[in-house]
Amino acid sequence: MRFTGQPILISGAGRGLGEGIAKHLASEGAIVGVADIDEASAQAVAAAIRESRGQAHAYGADLGRRQAFFDVAEAFRRDAGPLRAVINNASVLVYEPIEQVTEETLDRMLSAGLKSVFWGVQAFLAHRDENAPGNILNYSSPVAYRGRPNTGAYTTIKAGIAGLTKVLAGELGPRGVRVNAIAPGSVPTPATEGFVTPEQYAERAKQIPLRRNGTPDDVARAAAFLLSAEAAFITGAMLAIDGGIIAAG
């Protein structure tokens, strides 16, 4: 129970990897703030956590909007106390050739996947527990290190997050805040169903050094480690949870 009583806010936690992390952290005692643009899904995840005797609060908001993220963080502080960590998980996933990227798609992806990280950091700093170490965990991706076709917008966002994580580690370290990122590899989730078929996942597994796709639990355990006291001297790190995709090139 490494996170007993610690309020941890997670963006985009209504499904997929965010949901998995929320449930895992709650199982280790955290008070989880489940935030998602789809309030119904956030409520469902929070309800499942409470049914398992965990603690969770649900919030529906478009976290690409600064005021919305601040409102959620303020509400979570009222419900659970000063924040100990924020996990910037929210994103929109679209794979398409560069000539097909529209202004509407790019704006939506930048808002959900990159602007929300800035607002999440700011909201956390405004509502954090100043008497305890703080933690910010961002989501990058192996695509930030490899030139995978048809991922131009997504790669731009994830590469930006990788760079921002390093900047924030240096900027916020003196204030007692650690900032790290994870780079999950090929992990089947509801968010990828429209872009990657089961057959394509099977082919991916053949090319991954560990010869399998990842699971939400793989990601949740790694995230929990970076947030825990066991990683107290780790900041500015990018932890690849990818079965060796980045390393193998």
Question: Active-site positions?
Answer: 154
Which residues on neighbouring strands pair with residue 33, listed in sequence order?
9, 57
User: Coil, helix or strand for 28?
Assistant: coil
User: Coil, helix or strand for 161?
Assistant: helix
